[in-house]
Structure 1
Amino acid sequence: MTETEGPPPASAYAEGDEGRYRATELTRGPWHPDHQHAGPPIALVCRAIERAALEHGLTHVSRLTANLLRPVPIGELAVEVAVDYAGRNAGHYSARLVAGAKEVARFTALVQRESTVPLPDALPGHPLPAAPQGPDASPAASIPFSGRRLVGYGDLVETRVARGRFFDGPCATWFRLRHALLEGEAPSVYQRVVVAADSGNGISAILDFKKYLFVNSDLTINLLRRPRGEWICLDARTYLGPDGCGLAESALYDTDGLIGRATQSLSIRLRE
């Protein structure tokens, strides 16, 4: 793989025909130069689910689960969405991500109808907590693997560290998209969350990246309300068991406060 010269692409994906998309180098992840970071393709599927749910008047993506079956190659992808059930207040959706002739990821989602409900004052646990500090007060930092001189995920997002350090245990980091997810289209707030949320195991890593693989095989995001704004914060930490398995957990925030949580199941391996 040679170094990419010139400016990065304008977006993570370009749209083709009949639900097909072409990935650009901005989707490149840390584990292999020909494979995507999981955040952008999961966000691409989230976009398709949002559109399917909107047809039923459902607008809040309260849960999205991605089962990552295989590495997602940097190339052409197809997204397929099915309506499992759409009711008055909530809908259940499933989706597939296909690369070539192979299914590379499978998804389920819960999308709810939003309505205004007055709440009592002084509820326990409220107001909801805020991120350790806001993006304007957090210093800019580059995700370590973006320094390989290959255009990739580290160029797609802007990051600012609110607490801790990258690859050194618990870490809180703000994420903002530098480029569009899809060419010519502004990403939704949910797509912004998804692009960031798959990075919890990276920013809170506690193993040496040069010696270990700690790849997530899934991602589940639960959101208690609609996010707001361009900035999304992950306050993440990694937990490891003695059997080659682990868990990364992230509290998710926007600049107004807590919006939900994300979890990733990890497979731990020594690099060959």
Structure 2
Amino acid sequence: MAVFEAHGAGQWMPTALAQGPFSGLQGGAVAGLLAGEIELLAAEHNWGEALSVSAWFLRPTRLARLRTEITPVRAGGRISIIDNTVWAEGQDQPCAMVRVTLGIPRAIDVPGFSPPDEPTFDPLQYPSSARAAPHGGPWFMDAMESRTGDGIGWFRLKEDVIVGAGSMARVLGPADWAHGIFRPLANVVADPNPNLTVQLLRAPCGQWIGIEPQSHWNPDTGGGIGGGLIRDCAGVIGRVSMSVALTAFPGPARLP
């Protein structure tokens, strides 16, 4: 089972596991769908591996049949740049879009360079940090096993975002939680992110994706930022960043 099921070229049906905490689908799930579809096409055209993704969440993506449209900006050579946009059935305006930068790996000899020593982790040593959705139904967190320890949130997808997608689609879901793992305060305001940017240094080894987060809020402007390092069990593999739009909960605030 996948979080999004294919129903023909550019046609997708989200399952209940794609839902977010409030209205619409989880941003990281939607970004994973769009990036994953590009990764599938990249494998066919030898565009290389996804180096970075910038996603914009334009409006809530409804739990409905989805239509995507891929637009190459630059294709071929060592670097390719590909856009993908999604519409929900019955809506004229797009819900979200991504721009993916892909590159063909090329080993380079750099005299005098040695990689830094990295700590290794076993996420199974940390307690589970599973959370229920505020609406009480299934949501994207149910598609992942999550654990937290030593300032890092660890995630392991139990279901593919889409069948056959690559590393970036798997990373985007955990990365989308960077602003919420250790937010300044919990259960007082909602803090959706209207955008998401991820850069990968290399593909993750193994199933676990770790987010070493930082979050900052500015109530005077109603905004904030989130981000942090992305890890696998062997070391740093990338970085994530996003803007945050602080807003009141759709319903009464939930206290611990």
Matched, 1:28 2:8: no
Instruction: List alignment gaps of at least 5 residues for structure 2.
Output: 251-256
2:4 pairs, out of 10, 13, 23, with 13
CA shift at 1:219, angstroms? 0.2
CA shift at 1:256, angstroms? 1.8
CA shift at 1:84, angstroms? 0.7
- CA distances 1:83-127 after superposition (whole Å, capped 9, x unpaired): 11124210111111111233001211110001233444554xx32
Task: Calculate percent identity across the aligned residue pairs.
Answer: 23
2:168 pairs, out of 181, 187, 190, with 190
Instruction: Identify the residue that residue 65 of structure 1 maps to in structure 2.
Output: 54
**CA-atom RMSD, angstroms?**
2.0
Return the alpha-carbon distance in structure 1 between the equivalents of residues 209 and 246 of structure 2: 27
Q: SS of the counterpart of 1:181? A: coil
Instruction: Identify the residue that residue 172 of structure 1 maps to in structure 2.
Output: 152
* 1:39-78 equivalence runs, <5 A: 39-78=28-67
Return the alpha-carbon distance in structure 2 between the equivalents of residues 13 and 52 of structure 1: 17
TM-score norm. by structure 2 comes to 0.89
Matched, 1:215 2:192: yes
For this pair of structures, how many residues does the alignment match? 247
- Does the 8 A contact of 1:53 with 1:91 survive in 2? no
Question: 1:72 corresponds to which letter in structure 2?
Answer: T
Alignment CA distance shift 1:110-1:239 (3 Å): same
Instruction: Identify the residue that residue 81 of structure 1 maps to in structure 2.
Output: 70
CA shift at 1:26, angstroms? 0.5
- Does the 8 A contact of 2:21 with 2:134 survive in 1? no
CA shift at 1:21, angstroms? 0.6
Instruction: Identify the residue that residue 130 of structure 2 maps to in structure 1.
Output: 142
Instruction: Identify the residue that residue 140 of structure 2 maps to in structure 1.
Output: 153
Return the alpha-carbon distance in structure 1 between the equivalents of residues 112 and 136 of structure 2: 52
- Does the 8 A contact of 2:197 with 2:240 survive in 1? yes
Return the alpha-carbon distance in structure 2 between the equivalents of residues 204 and 187 of structure 1: 29
Question: 1:142 corresponds to which letter in structure 2?
Answer: A
Question: 1:16 corresponds to which letter in structure 2?
Answer: H
Matched, 1:259 2:237: yes
Return the alpha-carbon distance in structure 2 between the equivalents of residues 71 and 152 of structure 1: 15
The structure with the largest strand share of the pair is 1
Return the alpha-carbon distance in structure 2 between the equivalents of residues 191 and 148 of structure 1: 25
- CA distances 1:216-246 after superposition (whole Å, capped 9, x unpaired): 0000001112222211001112111231111
Return the alpha-carbon distance in structure 2 between the equivalents of residues 154 and 106 of structure 1: 22
Question: 2:226 corresponds to which letter in structure 1?
Answer: A
